[in-house]
A = this chain, B = another copy of it.
Amino acid sequence: MTTLSTTGLIEALNWRYAVKQFDPSRKISAADWTTLEDAMVLSPSSYGMQPWKFFVVDDAALRARLRPHSWNQSQITDASHLVVFGLPEKIDESSVDRFIARIAEVRGVETSSIEFYRQMILKDVIHGPRSAWVREWAARQIYIALGNLMTSAAVLGIDTCPLEGLDPREYDAILELPARGYNTVVACAVGYRSAEDKYASLPKVRFPKCDMLEHL
């Protein structure tokens, strides 16, 4: 397997920053974008359940309508691509059954042979300790996908800006997500930084490593 060097990784993560100003003239190539879509689909999640859907907003008019509901941030309309992360409105026994059926299909096994796994998930996420906050559990998984997208883009040399500062209800309404069974959680603009973005050259702010990480 081709791997990245340790210096390459750190270089990419230091290069990454939350882009304030994208270059509206630079589009991500089709091949690179397909790669990032595939990377999102490959995101890890608890039990492998993938409690999400990725909405890629291509339509310029839709993006213009989203912008005022995102503190008017220019990234919404200027970035090459905009991904809105959707959380399933319902996470219930049928979600688990659908997942179990997919495992059986991909791995060519009978669902009966993975009934123990089905029960394990049901007893935890649907009827057990996590059921009281299952949507929040799902939102956390979505943030794994968000983290994966930002790091994946960075190692390809592609810029991102995560966007929490948006009105999820307005996003839902404009993108008609509830009719699709989803709700907006967070978004991420993807593209290339503008040469004018003064934030690109500011020193990255992190607390000292000795305060952030401790060996026990």
Contacts and interface: CB of A to CB of B under 8 A. Distances in A.
Which residue of A15, A62, A162, A164 has the most chain B CB atoms within 10 A of its CB atom?
Answer: A164
B32 A6 contact: yes
Given A151-B155, A155-B155, 16 more contacts: A2-B8, A13-B152, A16-B42, A18-B44, A44-B162, A46-B164, A50-B212, A54-B213, A54-B214, A55-B214, A55-B216, A102-B205, A106-B205, A140-B140, A143-B143, A144-B162
A157 interface: yes
Which secondary structure dominates chain A's binding surface? helix
A26 interface: no
A53 B140 CA distance: 17
Interface of A: 1-16, 18, 31-32, 35, 37-44, 46, 48, 50, 52-59, 62, 99, 102-103, 106-107, 124, 136, 139-141, 143-148, 150-152, 155-157, 162, 164-165, 175, 180, 202-207, 209, 211-216
A8 B18 contact: no
A32 B5 CA distance: 9
16 contacts: A1-B15, A1-B157, A3-B157, A10-B38, A10-B39, A18-B44, A41-B206, A43-B147, A48-B205, A50-B206, A107-B202, A139-B140, A147-B147, A147-B151, A148-B148, A175-B216
Contacts of A15: 1
A207 B50 CA distance: 8
Contact of A162 (B8, B12, B46): B46
